Structure 1
Amino acid sequence: MASSIVLLFSLLTFLSLSSITTADDKLSAYDALQTFNFPMGILPKGALGYDLNERNGNFKAFLNGSCSFSLEGSYQLKYKSTISGVISKNKLTNLSGVTVKVFFLWLNIVEVRRVGDELEFSVGIASANFPIDNFYECPQCGCGLDCDNRLQNDQVSSI
């Protein structure tokens, strides 16, 4: 009888400890993207977390406020504080919360697909492909990937 109580106590202790560690072991938003074969650089720096329904792929990623920046001098992007959609291996669909400026219009990026070593971004009526290595680094709100040059230019102009 005493051994049954010890066994039951040990089992309950193990179950309670395993539930504590699973809460602490949640991946970052960037690591979660990589499990679906996406580079972390499709999200800007500073993602606070995410929610993911593993059964249907519905997700939400959370930033500390809205975020905007330019990439390669010609693409302006805006992220809302919450980005949502459906994620599966090599595919983000029903995306909301990310817009790109094309000429004079802001268009929603509604889908991102990984095709080999490229990412295809779709705004519904058109799409564009970019090499995946453009997305290995996370852009920063305000300055994108050119933050060091911007800082140096600001320092030079203040002299």
Structure 2
Amino acid sequence: MSLATTLAVLVLLSPLSTSSTASANGDGDGSLSVYDAIQEFNFPMGLLPKGVTGYELDNGNGRFLAYLNGSCSFSLEGSYQLKYKSTITGTISPNKLSSLTGVSVKVLFLWLDIVEVTRRGDNLEFSVGIASAAFPIDNFYECPQCGCGLDCFNGGQVRKIKMPLVSSV
């Protein structure tokens, strides 16, 4: 499964009083951008697509919400389709995103929700509950773009992702 760059993603439900809210790029008051925030938990910024408009993070319990202007979808390697809802929620802690909602991958003819992402060394393991697949972390150094993913033309070059290292059922 090429859940790479899907996950994309993180995040959480209702923030509590210890939460922080910011725009995707920070709001000029020293707050972190959403992409910097996920890197604080040892995840690459490419788990989220370009265009996140804001986020909320409860530092006490790790609940997180990320907001997009609308739903976002794209294909990876022509075989896998990823879809992000306008709000992505979950819980983030160092090297682990759990209870994810709002991110799904199409496998064959089925849309499956990505429910967990775990960093194991230089790999990210994506779980859809019944199966998981691991991908090299360097697949996630660049944020995918809605509509074209990583197959967007930048100077005439198309970037390809590395296929899964491990998968299980």
**TM bracket (short chain):** 0.7 to 0.9
Report the Cα distance in structure 1 between the residues aligned to 2:144 and 2:43, rounded to whole angstroms.
15
Aligned position for 1:89: 94
- Which structure is larger by alpha-carbon Rg, 1 or 2? 1
Number of equivalent positions? 130
Do residues 112 (structure 1) and 112 (structure 2) align?
A: no
Cα deviation code 1:116-158 (max 9, x no counterpart)? 0000000001000000000000000000011117x89xxxxxx
Q: Distance in 2 between matches of 1:60 and 1:111?
A: 15
Mapping for residues 6-85 of structure 1, pairs under 5 Å? 24-85=29-90
Equivalent residue number for residue 19 of structure 1? none
Higher strand share: 2
User: TM-score, length-normalised on structure 1?
Assistant: 0.78
1:127: which partner in 2?
132
Determine the C-alpha separation between the residues in 1 that align with 2:62 and 2:148.
31
Provide TM-score, normalisation by structure 2. 0.74
The AA in structure 1 aligned to 2:139 is N
- The offset of 1:34, in angstroms, is 0.3
The higher-RCO structure (CA 8 Å, 6+ apart) is: 2
Q: Runs of 4 or more off by more than 2 Å in structure 1?
A: none
Amino acid at match of 1:89: P
Classify the secondary structure of the residue corresponding to 1:148.
Answer: coil
Aligned amino acid, residue 96 of structure 1:
T
Alignment partners' CA distance in 2, 1:54 and 1:111: 19
Q: Which has the higher helix share?
A: 1
RMSD of aligned alpha carbons: 1.7
CA distance in 1, matches of 2:39, 2:87: 19
Q: CA deviation at 1:51?
A: 0.2
In the alignment, which residue of structure 2 is the partner of 1:138? 143
Give unmatched runs, 5+ long, in structure 2: 1-26, 158-169
Question: SS at the partner of 1:44?
Answer: coil
